[in-house]
Chains A and B, each alone.
Chain A
Amino acid sequence: MGRPQQPGSDSIGTLDLLILSCLAREQMHGFGIAEYLHSASDAFHVEEGSLYPALHRLESQGWIDSAWGVSENNRRARFYKLTPRGRKQVSVEVSHWRRMVEAVNRVIDPLES
């Protein structure tokens, strides 16, 4: 998941989708994203080694933007937020993901019943 994408490719990985969805709610710093994901589900344990390269990559693709700010405990932290393009991308990717999950479910459901 931490691997860089093909340059120019418009499709994104799961971690990217998770990050963008987090940021669609509000602007956050890296630790906040990791903590939020973890609190959402124990299944998400995001390593720093994947999180920060992903954040920087998303920024270098112009989907998110960042600026220094002050964290809740008064420390200097880098906050990320979606750019207009990133916002568009989230909605595209989310619906893509939903279709994908539905399709997969339709295939595996019969196995469970």
Chain B
Amino acid sequence: MLRQLCIDVRVRLTALFARRRIYSRADEELKFHLAMREQRLIEAGVPPGEAHERARRAMGNPTLLTEQTVDSWRYTFVDTLIQDVRYGLRTLRKNPGFTATAVLSLALGIGANTAIFSLFDALLFRPLPVASPEELVLATQRFADRQFLMLGNRHREALAGSETLVGLCASRHSQIRATAAGDSQFVDGMLASGNCFSLLGVSAIRGRMITEADDQPSAGQPVAVLSYRYWQSRFGADENIIGQSITVEDRPFAIVGVAPRGFMGLEPGKSADIILPLNIQGGPLLANPNVFWLRLLGRRKHGVSLEQVQADLAVRFARVERNPKAKGPPARLEVVPAGSGFGDARTEFALPLRILMGAVALVLLIACMNLASLLLARASGRRQEINLRVALGAGSGRIVRQLLTESMLLSTIGGLVALGIAWVASPLLAQSMSRGRTPIVLDLAPEWRTLAFTAAVSLLTGLLFGIVPALRAVRQWNTHHGSRIKTGSRRWSGALIISQVALCVIVLASAGLLLESLRKLQQVDAGFRKDHLLVLSMRLDKYQGPAAIRLHQELYQRFTALPGVESVTTFSDLPLGGVNVTTNDFSINTVGERFFETMGIPLLTGRTLNEQDALNRRPVAVISESVAHHFFPDRDPLGQYLDVMGTDREVIGVVKDARYRSLRLPAEPMVYAPAVSSGSYAIRTTVDPATLASAVRRELREAASDIPIWSLNTLDADATLARERIVSNLCSWFGGFALLIASVGLYGRLSYAVTERTGEIGVRMALGAGQGQVTWMVLRDALILTICGITIGVPLALASTQVFRSLLFEVRASDAATFAVILAGIVGVTSIAGYIPARRAASVDPVIALRTE
């Protein structure tokens, strides 16, 4: 049966799409036939030349033969297909209500799948638009259980010589300030080493990409390459772009090329609108071997395996990493495939997107089952029509084919509408993902992968919900006795309801667990006061030395003097804002006076940093509790010295720990060093911080009108929960949708059953059954189906929630309370769905019911 189905599907596809293959096949078969004939003639003693001639003559015109042979396919398939589609469209038009319901639920189901898939694909799957992406590998380092994608310049030098690689290039994405026509903007930029594009095999569509010569510290005129997107939007696709100048960070760069259309850098989720040579833009950082700020990407040599690369690079890495002073486990090098890119957005959203993908797939499955039960019910209504067609000579295969064509038509129309839905939904989804710490730029232009996915899902859906009703319709015709059919189809629709409930349990349990951990996360103590903070970030690069100090002092006074401001400080890292500079043992935050007061991080002992520390460049530091425990477990840390990136700093104070990276991760070991200003200000207010934003902007403009503002926002401590919020919210929506569909299905089945059993109910009531008994009889059906579904669904849910354990926070994947709430909810909703037809059954008037019987 299954084998035959596979053959049928293959044959059908061949007939429709592989005409060329059939041609060449027929051709080859006939050639073989000719050769065999010739051979037989030779064996019979005919001289070779004549044998060839005779064989050819006997066979006739080969082209015509091929044509006739290939025609056998056309006749069977295209004709019947067109016939089926025409008939199917007519049937669908005749039942607009059914068609609309089916198309709508399919469009929503498939649309959600397409939308999530397009994000999933853009971020995780789609290969980078470079030559042989499968050969690319990324060098990462691992400390215990944490993986870091950034390495330092010393690693670059050590790994570059590897025999296993064609080459190794360094790059990083970074926000850069570009000025065109007097207007400063922050733009997604990419710094790339000179060998980057020759290694990637990416060539410019206008001009050229960055080369080795551009990337020498001694290179003359600094050069830049624009992304296609930026060239289009900012320069109006100016054909004379090459040779024009763009000002980046106040330096003029000559534009030498435009990158190809699909190239958005190497990190999905980020864009690379201006590409600059690494040496030109990153000079000072390159000189420091201890800063991890580069992505090191290599290309495997032909025939070299990932393991071989790993082995060779690990040795090279260990050579430069050996540091006798370092505490804790040493860093290990880990080489990972990088063919579809790398980066934080991928790491952050991989699991959430997988969960969402699973949830939407389940929702679509539930919708499929609903349609299957609709079609089952409809098939009994179409019995007459089918009987007529059988009587007129249609084979059972033909009828199944016809019914399947109808369901495929429905799913195809649903799929087309779904594309529209996804087209609107995926950018919205990407936008809500962007609200997190890592803004996300994705190329979501519809392309063949998404289209192919949608087409495949639509066809599969049509097959899935169409096959059982179609086969049953034929069996109906085979067994002419009505009663047997009814029990059969009732059994089927019961099974469908049970599966729907089971799938609902999975989706809803996942949503419940995710919501619960979101709630727990929101209660975590981050170690600082999250409310009433206004954060200003700008770039001070025009102001260096004394000018910067004067500017800071003026800004500080102006901001402090604003009504409603409690205190003002500067910082390089903000709690929950991530860390910029990190060493093996701790991260470093350079902060101004009153940082701890402003942020509400309590001082435990000693004193805090002040402006004099910064102005006099005193080698002092305030350390967090965990740094104190780590380095000075048995001593008073005050007065001790700590090596902070090459400088011995005296510890003058200890403050409580705060969470910098995320609410989930333990507090960051942090060393605070004094600084005048890094261009970032935190302002603690007594009033709503948003109301102060315009005043702050005005003060800044009055003090210095030429400074670009990077951002001016109230502190969004919740941004770090963006991904948790998206995944739990979407999951809840999908769960609700799933439950709705399932209860509509249950309602439909019970209503149908009540209508069918009106006579029976009438008899029961005539014999003395009360309304309550009748209600219970119908409601019991609903409850039995629900409980069966739950019994199957709970173990499935327990198994599948294990998958995203890492996304849960202080909630067990089998949290009993969450499951209890979910199950109670499901029973509640299905009881309502069952109660309505139950009431109707109870209001049956036995006299009328028996008379119609």
Write the residues of chain A forming the contact surface with B, with a CB cutoff of 8 angstroms: 2, 4, 7-10, 29-31, 34-35, 48-49, 52-57, 59-62, 65, 71, 73, 75-78, 83-85
Contact = CB atoms under 8 A, between A and B. Distances in A.
A102 to B, nearest CB: 26
Nearest to A57: B72
B72 A7 contact: no
Given A31-B37, A53-B68, A75-B35, A8 B80 contact: yes
B15 A60 contact: yes
Range class of the B interface residue count: 35 or more
Contacts of A8: 80, 393-395, 397-398
A8 B26 CA distance: 24
Contact of A2 (B22, B33, B36, B68): B68
Interface string B622-642: 000000000000000000000
A52 B8 contact: no
Contacts of B587: none
B76 A57 contact: yes
B70 interface: yes
A77 B60 contact: no
A45 to B, nearest CB: 10
A76 B35 CA distance: 11
A56 B35 contact: no
B850 interface: no
Contact of B11 (A10, A48, A54, A62): A62
A2 B67 CA distance: 13
B98 interface: no
A55 B72 CA distance: 9
A52 B398 CA distance: 24
B72 A53 contact: yes
Contacts of A59: 11
A85 B397 CA distance: 11
Given A8-B398, A30-B32, A60-B11, 10 more contacts: A2-B68, A7-B79, A9-B395, A31-B36, A55-B69, A57-B75, A60-B76, A62-B7, A71-B36, A75-B32
19 contacts: A7-B76, A7-B79, A8-B80, A9-B395, A29-B32, A30-B32, A31-B33, A48-B60, A49-B68, A52-B65, A57-B72, A57-B76, A60-B11, A60-B15, A62-B4, A62-B7, A65-B7, A83-B3, A83-B4
Identify the interface centre among B11, B39, B76, B79: most chain A CB within 10 Å of its CB. B76
B60 A73 contact: no
A50 to B, nearest CB: 9
A2 B68 CA distance: 9
Contacts of B397: 8
A12 to B, nearest CB: 12
* B interface secondary structure, majority: helix
A53 B69 contact: yes
A72 B3 CA distance: 28
A71 to B, nearest CB: 7
B29 interface: yes
Contacts of B29: 29-30, 52, 77-78
A21 B71 CA distance: 24
B32 A76 contact: yes
B845 to A, nearest CB: 48
A90 to B, nearest CB: 14
B28 interface: yes
B764 interface: no
Nearest to B394: A8
Given A10-B395, A61-B76, A83 B7 contact: yes
B59 interface: yes
Nearest to B80: A7
Contacts of A34: 33
B520 interface: no
Contacts of B7: 62, 65, 83
Interface in B15-32: 15, 22, 25-26, 28-30, 32
A60 B80 contact: no
Nearest to B75: A4
A2 B65 CA distance: 12
Contacts, number: 95
B77 interface: yes
Contacts of B64: 49
A113 to B, nearest CB: 39
B8 to A, nearest CB: 5
Contacts of B80: 7-8
Identify the interface centre among B4, B25, B36: most chain A CB within 10 Å of its CB. B36
Given A76-B28, A83-B3, A30 B8 contact: no
Contacts of A73: 39
Contacts of B804: none
A30 B77 contact: no
B710 to A, nearest CB: 65
A49 B65 contact: yes
A4 B68 CA distance: 10
3 nearest CB pairs, A to B: A57-B72, A56-B72, A52-B69
A48 B30 contact: yes
B186 interface: no
Contacts of A2: 68
Given A49-B60, A53-B71, A57-B76, A78 B28 contact: yes
B20 to A, nearest CB: 15
A35 B35 CA distance: 14
A29 B30 CA distance: 11
Nearest to B36: A31
Given A2-B68, A31-B32, A49-B60, A60 B25 contact: no
B846 to A, nearest CB: 49
Contact of A4 (B35, B36, B70, B72): B72
B33 A48 contact: yes
Contacts of A53: 68-69, 71-72
B423 interface: no
A29 B34 CA distance: 13
A57 B64 CA distance: 16
A60 B26 CA distance: 13
B73 interface: yes
A90 B443 CA distance: 56
B32 A71 contact: yes
Nearest to A58: B72
A56 B11 contact: no
A48 to B, nearest CB: 5
Contacts of B3: 83-84
B810 to A, nearest CB: 56
A78 B25 CA distance: 8
Interface string B166-182: 00000000000000000
Contacts of A30: 29, 32-33
Given A56-B26, A75-B35, A84 B77 contact: no
B8 A62 contact: yes
A52 to B, nearest CB: 4
Contacts of B79: 7
Contacts of A61: 76
A57 B8 CA distance: 13
A52 B60 contact: no
A69 B75 CA distance: 27
Nearest to A32: B36
A56 B26 CA distance: 9
B572 to A, nearest CB: 68
A35 B41 CA distance: 13
Interface in B347-368: none
B4 A85 contact: yes
Nearest to A83: B7
Contact of A60 (B1, B65, B72): B72
A77 B32 contact: yes
Contacts of B8: 62
Nearest to B33: A31
B33 A60 contact: no
A75 B26 CA distance: 15
Nearest to A84: B4
Contacts of B30: 48, 52
Nearest to B66: A52
Contacts of A49: 60, 64-65, 68
